Structure 1
Amino acid sequence: MAFDGERASSMVEELRGSFSTGKTRGYEWRAKQLKAIERMINEKEEDIVEALRSDLSKPHFESFLHEVSMAKSSCQFALKNLKQWMKPEKVSSSLSTYPSSASIVPEPFGVVLIISAWNYPFLLSLDPVIGAIAAGNTVVLKPSEISPATASLFTRILPDYVDTSCVRIVEGAVPETTALLEQRWDKIFYTGNGKVGRIVMAAAAKHLTPVVLELGGKSPVVVDSDIDLKVSTRRIVVGKWGSNNGQACIAPDYIITTKSFAAKLVDALKSTLEEFYGKDPLETEDLSRIVNSNHFTRLANLLDDDKVSGKIVYGGNLDEKRLKIAPTLLLDVPENSRIMKEEIFGPLLPIITVDKIEDSFALINSRTKPLAAYLFTKKKNLQKMFVETVSCGGMLINDTTLHLANPYLPFGGVGESGTGSYHGKFSFDAFSHKKSVLSRGFGGEVSARYPPYTPWKQNLLRALLAGNIISVVMALFARRS
């Protein structure tokens, strides 16, 4: 039976009914689901790795490091901190509400939809699910159809571990996603590209549903000449090609360096690429393939652009049958070329040059705001300037991509690279409404609050609202006199 709007509506109502019973609100239910997900990861690790190999030819090491272990860590971190996250946060009261107590109470939104991406299909599906469950919501997960083996794996194994009256999975493509987006949700979390992000936001707007959009953008790497060249190039290379062969939202998209340093940097990058992937990287097992023929053709067309003709200084080899593209460096690429206008999301790395390294900051800010930005330099003043002037989702100094692994940092975009954030407690917060609660007894009445209104009452309220205790006392004294 096709998954249409009627089935989607029925499923949402069932989940809303489960949420209304209140069972997801307690710590015990949340912890039980998280422990079960952690157990699933442990017990099904080989199945997960095999699904990722089928979808992306992802190396076993990358599958474990970037997906399996990170999802497990996310579960463990949530379990360790969940009781504290769930506690109401006590805050101060003002003089105008005295005597009173105030707190901020996190409560689940209700029924949430998570639409995940294909490039890290296990982690980017499960990580937000962990956050949604930790916050006490019922959940629908829509994994990406572009990674069908992982999507199918979720459908097979997740129901054996979680409460299926509260957690559902919907496989499919555009028709199924469309049917889901027609429903009224309490929160939508989408990971993907800006084109679909706009569709998601437009659908959410019909019901005034809040959204988290984890998108992408062209993440720059600024490279100064005073660096430790060997360490820097290793970190750039593993961040670019060790992140799903460039098919990652925070993979370095392009490099900016000075004209005088460019040749030295290119030579170091070439040396590191050969060290990591050999002289024929199309034959290595340490690089993922391009996900499908459409993306292969898209990347091949970027290289066919007349404006980048002759700019390849390393790589450029393609194997369409096996959907493989070698790591490729391009030098002095024109800024109006397609490769510099579009998010690359693949193993191509253009390098553009400037006269002074400081010129790179204005160049980055002239573009849409990226999801990540990276700077390699020893100069503290340059680091400070980078942090203060470059707007992006997140940044790293002297490394790439590792900020993703710190659960104490929010992960998210800004502007066209996304809205909202998650990871660690920020995942819990993303799926929680912060409800303000003010509590008072029946004493402490101030007659000036009530009609009939007089100049004296106005003066007293003005002093109260200003928090000026001396003026309050003087106003009360004047009244008694």
Structure 2
Amino acid sequence: MSNLELHTNDKISQAHKDLRQTFLKGTTLPLEFRRHQLLQVARLAQEKQEAILSALEADLGRHPVEAYLPEIGPIVASALGAVQCLDDWARPENPHISEQWRSNWNTTIHKAPKGVVVIISPWNYPWIITFGPLIGAIAAGCTVLIKPSEHSPACAKLMQDLVSEYLDPRAFRVVQGAVDETAHILSLKWDHIFFTGSTRVGRIVAEAAGKNLTPVTLELGGQCPVFVDGKNTNLSLAAKRILWGKQQNAGQVCVAPNHVFVEKEFEGKLVSAFGEAAKSFWPDGALDAKSNLARIVNKGHFKHLQSLLARTKGLIKGGKTEGLRMEPTFVHNLNVPTDDVLMTSEIFGPILPIISVNSVDEAIENIRSGPTPLVLYVFTEDQEVKNKFIQQTQSGQLIFQETFGQLAVPEIPFGGQGDSGYGAYLGKYSFDTFTHLRGSIDVPLIPEVDAAMALKYPPYNPGSEAFAKYNANLPIPDKSQS
């Protein structure tokens, strides 16, 4: 939080008031305004990429590959994609309705912006997790307050500077704050709150939003389990893809594989495969100066990870540290059920427990017994096993044969379920998140139309009752056909 000047509650309240006035004036409604702001977002990320790289290096020690691939590139692509699709997304829809009303009721669904929204984003992927939803809010026609994390101060300060430089300050503001300032933000009346962070803080956000009946999107992460079907998958490739997902930002990402289930007979082979994958990634060791492995965000979280390794009952392979960097560490010989410290909450670091099970069904049962994960990863070529996970488990996303890469596909929604949050975004789903579907009918005030509805008016008679009963007595197929 060093060198990060926090906003006073009065300034935050004034920003909220200004954004409300801008929205009420209709400034953000014209599609041309939205297009221009979306293009400005793309220009911001493209023209200031070196500054963004420097900020990510300062806060997280992030290599440029892990800045361009998940953050800078998707911002540019998403903003340009929204510009291209904006007319289609914003166009009113005429739904298919009952034939009796179809000819003259002019039934329409209007795409109305929700209004004044706030995006509270985390430190681990500060740019894409801020600008991903921001792109949807701009496309929807909302005004936006952004509250970046105080734990990535270089990114937070740069974000404030760039948003004020590139975007219309009447409609888009960045404020800086920690716990107290965030509590004040949550006490204000918003038309939508978009929060990404821990489940613990997510509950606080949801409770605060409930006081104002404010709709919320919660992206909370949680434990993302992996199942490796040793009989029906390439263990070497599976280990390589799992480790790739785990080492992104040193495991500090909500979609990182949290722990791996594998049948007992394949546990040793999988542990060896992870070792070979690590050697291929970092020939001179993961902590070598050229390894490009990101660091742990702060001393507190680093000590927490060290404490987990000190208290686990499993066998540790790895665990070396240097400064705030920790090499990817595999912990095996953990049997289910387990009360091991590594399984009590999301690890959020480069530690990967490997848990042996007797069968696919046992793995599924253990996944079902825990909190609903944000992502469930399954490595198998067996369609029957895939179907079991599709039909018998719940998760925000279900990904086969890959980790982390699903975020490169904006055509599918990204979001949690239950303990891992609710609501979704990416692509059109970001636009939908900040859009109210406003249903409308327009019934002509002419006698011919009114005559068709005459039976709804008092005084009621037998014909009125028959009219009212029509839908209640629609034919239902015979039981033998159901």
How does 1:30-429 map onto structure 2 within 5 Å? 30-95=34-99, 97=101, 99-225=104-230, 226-241=232-247, 243-283=248-288, 284-305=290-311, 308-309=312-313, 311-312=315-316, 314-319=317-322, 322-333=323-334, 335-429=338-432
Report the alpha carbon displacement of residue 229 of structure 1 after superposing the two structures with TM: 2.1
Which of 456, 465, 471 is 2:463 aligned to?
456
- Contact 1:19 / 1:111 at 8 angstroms: preserved in 2? yes
Paired AA for residue 231 in structure 1: L
1:42-83: CA deviation from partner (whole Å, max 9, x where unpaired):
110000011001110001111111111011111111111111
Code of the residue aligned with 1:256 in structure 2: it is: F
CA contact (8 A) 2:12 2:175 kept: no
- Contact 1:258–1:355 (Cα < 8 Å) also in 2: yes
CA RMSD between the two structures = 1.5
Given that 2:222 and 2:374 are in contact with CA atoms closer than 8 Å, whether structure 1 keeps it comes out as yes
Q: Percent identity?
A: 39
CA contact (8 A) 1:104 1:435 kept: yes
Q: 1:2 to 1:79 in 2, by over 3 A?
A: closer
CA distance in 2, matches of 1:264, 1:176: 50
Q: Structure 2 stretches of 5 or more lacking a match?
A: 476-482
Distance in 1 between residues matched to 2:473 and 2:168, nearest whole Å = 51
Q: Give the match's secondary structure for 1:422.
A: coil
Residue 388 of structure 1, CA deviation: 1.2
SS where residue 106 of structure 1 aligns?
Answer: strand
Q: Distance in 2 between matches of 1:147 and 1:251?
A: 19
- Looking at structure 2, the residues matched to 235 and 387 of structure 1 have their Cα atoms a distance apart, in angstroms, of 21
- Opposite residue 120 of structure 2, the aligned amino acid is I
Whole-angstrom CA distance in 2 between matches of 1:467 and 1:22: 46
Q: C-alpha displacement at 1:213, in angstroms?
A: 0.3
Corresponding residue SS for 2:144: strand
Question: Which whole-Å deviations, capped at 9, do the CAs of 1:220-249 have from their partners, x for residues lacking one?
Answer: 1100112122221211111111x2111110
Q: Counterparts of 1:172 and 1:12 in 2: how far apart (Å)?
A: 14
1:182-223 per-residue CA deviation (whole Å, 9 max, x = no partner) reads: 111010000000111111111111110000000011101100
Alignment correspondent of 2:444: 441
Give the secondary structure class of the aligned counterpart of 1:250. Answer: coil
Deviation at 1:172? 2.1
The C-alpha deviation readout for 1:251-288, integer Å capped at 9, x for no partner, is: 10000001000000110110110110234211243210
* Secondary structure of the structure 2 residue equivalent to 1:439: coil
The code of the aligned residue for 2:321 comes to L
By how many angstroms is 1:84 displaced? 0.3
Letter in 1 for 2:432: D
SS in 1 for 2:242: helix
| Separation (CA, whole Å) in 2 of partners of 1:206 and 1:12 | 18
1:475 aligned residue: none
Q: Secondary structure at the match of 2:255?
A: coil
- Does the 8 A contact of 1:96 with 1:465 survive in 2? no
CA distance in 2, matches of 1:459, 1:288: 72
- How far off is 1:166 after superposition? 0.4
CA distance in 2, matches of 1:165, 1:392: 39
Q: What is the letter of the counterpart of residue 342 of structure 1? A: S
Taking a change above 3 Å as real, the CA distance of residues 153 and 2 of structure 1, as seen in their structure-2 partners, is: closer
Deviation of 1:310 (Å): 5.2
CA distance in 2 between counterparts of 1:149 and 1:140 reads: 19
Q: Displacement of 1:317 after TM fit?
A: 1.0
- Secondary structure of the residue that 2:94 maps to in structure 1? strand
> What is the CA–CA distance in structure 1 between the aligned matches of 2:27 and 2:472, rounded to whole Å?
42
Deviation at 1:101, TM superposition (A): 2.3
Output one character per residue of 1:140-193: Cα deviation in whole Å (capped at 9) or x when no partner. 000001111100101112211100000000012112212211111010000000
SS at match of 2:262: strand
Q: Distance in 1 between matches of 2:281 and 2:474?
A: 64
Q: CA deviation at 1:96?
A: 5.7
CA distance 1:21–1:105, change in 2 (3 Å): same
Would you say the 8 A contact 2:6–2:176 is kept in 1? no
2:473, 2:181 → 1: CA distance?
A: 55
What TM-score do you get using the length of structure 1 for normalisation?
A: 0.93
Letter in 2 for 1:373: L
Q: Which amino acid aligns with 1:318?
A: T
Whole-angstrom CA distance in 2 between matches of 1:356 and 1:56: 39
Unaligned runs of 5+ in 1: 469-481
How far did 1:412 drift? 0.2
Q: Is the 8 A contact 2:313 2:334 kept in 1?
A: no
User: How far did residue 454 of structure 1 move?
Assistant: 1.1
Q: How many angstroms does 1:333 deviate by?
A: 2.5
- Determine if contact 2:396/2:417 at 8 Å carries over to the other structure: yes
